[in-house]
Every structure is written in structure tokens, then in C-alpha cells.
Structure 1
């Protein structure tokens, strides 16, 4: 399996395309749907699913356009199913009140932790709330990497001052779900550079 990072939109949200032969998953299509579709077409891939680490506007903005293009199901945690078309919950109503983001409801809800298998892709879902109530992380053990949305950044952590944010809960998620992974685990965050668990244990001021 291989993966590609896309830095998308005005908030430079990281989206990730995971590729297994001629099939792919896309995690957090925050913006620039045309660019994502062009990449998938150029590589002659079949998009099997769209996954969201959470439902903030900068992580969901291109989901409908990609879903219409490929008919791929959209997955989000059940606690944020109703955020997709509610700008005050997904944050676009707070930051861009004149241009709110609303997308159609998800096709599949993530209800619990555990292994999720989608069209030949297999990975673990970790519930990592704190940045938002339904934040999740996707752990690809065999590839030694985790996609953690806005939970953990390189030398930083996700903000907790948006609706449903909880600093104590965020730190518990980081300590109990992420920092228990092997130090060499690659961390693919929702914004900023790629890092790893060992580096964050040493360098992250919120942790070390």
C-alpha cells in the first residue's frame, strides 16, 4: 500500500489518499475537489470510500463533489453525523458566516473502536475525542502509521475552544491512544508536517 498527502484549501488541511493497487481511500477531503479527482483519474484508481477524522468544515468541504463523482460512501463518527449540514457545528458558520459549508449526510457511521475493513483496506479505528466529540484516528499497523486528524500535531495539539472541544479529554486521548503506539509510528496530522510518536514524546511541549 502507498499513500499521498494533499495540502488543501486556505487552512492547509492535510488530506490523505491511500492506494492499494487500483483502489483507494481518501481521508479528510477538505477542499480542492477538482485536484483530488484529477489525481484519482490520472492514476486510474477506483475510489472505494471517503473517511473523515472529524466533521469540521476544513476537513469536509470537498466530500460531496468527490462522492458525486465516484459514488463512494462517506464515513464519519456517529457523534458528528449531524454536523455535516450544520455550519454552526462544523465551524464554517463561525469563521465564514457568509459562505457556510453544508454537505449531505454520511452514508456510514462509525459507532465504536475496532477493526474496519473497506474494499480490501484494513485498519483500526481509535476514538480520540477532545478536539471534537467524534474525532477518530485511523491506525494502519502494518504500514506503521496513524492518521489522527486534529488530535496531535508536530510539536502541538488540536484546539479545544470550538463547539464540543474538551482539553482534558484531548490529552487523555493523546496519552491513552496515541502515545501507547511504538515510537517509530508515523503520525499523519490534519495540519502541518508529518512527525512520529517518538519525536512528539521528546519535543512536543504539551507532552514532554
Structure 2
């Protein structure tokens, strides 16, 4: 007989170089990637604002007496940059953001930065420099290529290191999908850009993907197949992307505030332009309260929230 077990063990977590450490967070915060070498300690993405103290604590514990030198943001959705301000207050670290987002951060235009559009929050932070596709960074003892990743967010970036064959994909590729294609909610192109990003990833020699959410994974080919299939399904009927966006933004808000009345849910829809844009693709405005209750019911069936007579709440233990 061969040495292959008839009942093979579960897939082992992929191995990363010792200089790369991933803090896998809950869905309210993005994962944080700590890269440390002799000259610099850097953190890629910083989580959501309400988890900022925990982000600082995680970094402090990992670095011991050493300071954090650099913050890098793959993109500026609130779950990826919400810890920036707290980290900057703790350490005099440089902060690198996507070049395409620089003017919005400089003016602190919360509408352009998507915080108001999604009903989310982020403490104001500054930046010292920018990154654009084609740039190179030395982090964790490796050279990283900066790769554009529009689709989920027009300004988003990925980081790829050829020597350890590691891709920090942010929300461009997860093990089972990718982030909401936000440009399509406003009638702008996003599906084509997402496909181009998946094509670009397929051309890379990747052993491990560190996604923006979920555990690092090694079977990149299978993840790409799932992503291509999902993208085809979404682009065949853009209302599917809109419905997914409404569900994702509702659950995100609920993870933050824990409980919402239906009146508060309706108010959120009225205030958040990205949610309104999604709702317009699904129903006339007069039907939005019914739409949100219908979606809440679907989310309750999947276990994403608990639905009561007067509102919704996050399931116990979900963060």
C-alpha cells in the first residue's frame, strides 16, 4: 500500500516565514500583517476603530520593547485603516497609503473615503508617504511589489513578495470570494476590474495568500476558481451585488453596535449613500423598509443576525 492515508488529516495551515506574522481578526476588523526585520517593524492594515486598542495591544505584545516603525494600508475602507490614528498616537510611525486616496485623506473628506457612504466611522489620521502600483517595499526582510487591485475599491493595492511567494491580497481575493464590488453600486465599472485583478493573481507564483479577512491559505488555484465563478454570477445580474452589499453593510454595522431597531436600520439606509445606491437597484424607495426586513430575515436564517419583533441583534459571540 502507498503511504497515503484513507482518511487524510485536515489541511495544515500554510507556513509563513518567521518575519511575517498574521493577526487574524473578526469580520469587523481586517487582518493585520506584522512584518519585522532588523531595520523596520511594519504593520499592513490596522482594523476597525472600535478595535483600535486591541490592535495596539497585539502589536505591543508581538514587538515587546521595540517600536512600530511603519503602517501600510492596502486601501482605506474603515476596517483596514481604523487603527491608524491610535497606532500613530502610540508610536511616531510613518504611514503609507494608496496614492489615489491621498487628497481625500489630506482634506479628510469622509464621503470620498467611504466612511459616510457605508455608515461607518474612522478616527482622523495622517500619512507620510504614498504607494502606487509598480512601487517596491522592503518589509520583513523581503522585497514586495505593489500591485493595483481595483474592483472592490478603485484605489486598492496588493503586496507580493516573490522570494517567499506570499501575496497580501487584502479584499481582492479571499479563500471563498472577495469584497463587495462597490463601484458597481454607483453605476461605475467594477466587475471588469475585479476580473483583471484575478487574472493578475493567476499570473503570480503564489504559495500563500494572506487575505484581508479569514485565515491565510495555500490552495490559490481553487480560491481563484471560486472567485471567478462568483464574479460571473454577480456580473450576470448586478442586483445580486447590490443585495450582497446591503447584507454585508447591515451585518458590519450590527457587529459594531450589537443591536438595532428596525427604525434605526431604516435611518441607516437613509444616511448611507452606498446602501441607498444598492437599495435603488432592488426596489422603489417606498418599499425600502420592507426590503430591509426581508434581507434581515434572510440574514437571520443564515445565522448572521438574530431577528426579533422590533429589530435585530448580533448573535452571541460574533465579533
Residues 49, 118 of structure 1: 8 Å contact kept: no
Equivalent position to 1:198, from 189, 214, 221: 221
Deviation of 1:181 after TM superposition, in Å, equals: 1.4
TM-score (norm 1): 0.84
| Map of 1:28 onto structure 2 | 45
Offset of residue 120 of structure 1 = 5.5
Task: Determine the structure 1 residue equivalent to 2:33.
Answer: 16
Alignment of 1:185 with 2:207, yes or no, is: yes
- Measure, in 2, the Cα distance between the counterparts of 1:130 and 1:120: 30
State the distance in 2 between where 1:72 and 1:157 align: 30
**Which residue of 117, 135, 143 maps to 1:94?**
117
Shift in Å at residue 116 of structure 1?
1.8
Structure 1 contact 64–104 (Cα < 8 Å) conserved: yes
Instruction: Show CA shifts across 1:47-95 (max 9, x none).
Output: 1210011011111111011012111111111111134433223322133
Q: Does 1:167 align with 2:196?
A: no
> Equivalent of 2:86, from 31, 40, 65?
65
For 1:4 and 1:166, the matched residues in 2 are separated by 31
Cα root mean square deviation, aligned = 2.7
Deviation of 1:159 after TM superposition, in Å, equals 1.5
The residue aligned with 2:144 is: 123
Higher strand residue share: 1
Instruction: Mark the runs of 5 or more structure 1 residues left unpaired by the alignment.
Output: none
Give every structure 1 segment of 4 or more consecutive aligned residues whose post-TM-superposition deviation is greater than 6 Å. Answer: none
Q: 1:148 aligns with which of 159, 163, 169?
A: 169
Distance in structure 2 (CA, Å) of the matches to 1:200 and 1:136: 19
Structure 2: state its 5+ residue gaps: 1-17, 233-319
Q: Secondary structure at the match of 1:80?
A: helix
Shift of 1:21: 5.3
1:81-113: CA deviation from partner (whole Å, max 9, x where unpaired): 13443322332213336xx32423321011341
Alpha-carbon distance between aligned partners in 1 of 2:41 and 2:179, rounded to the nearest angstrom: 27
* Residues paired across the two proteins, number: 204
Name the one with the larger helix percent.
2
8 A contact 1:131–1:165 mirrored in 2? no
Work out the CA distance in 2 between the residues paired with 1:188 and 1:180: 17
Aligned to 2:98: 77
SS of corresponding position for 1:67? helix
The alignment's TM-score, normalised by the length of structure 2, stands at 0.57
Q: CA deviation at 1:127?
A: 1.3
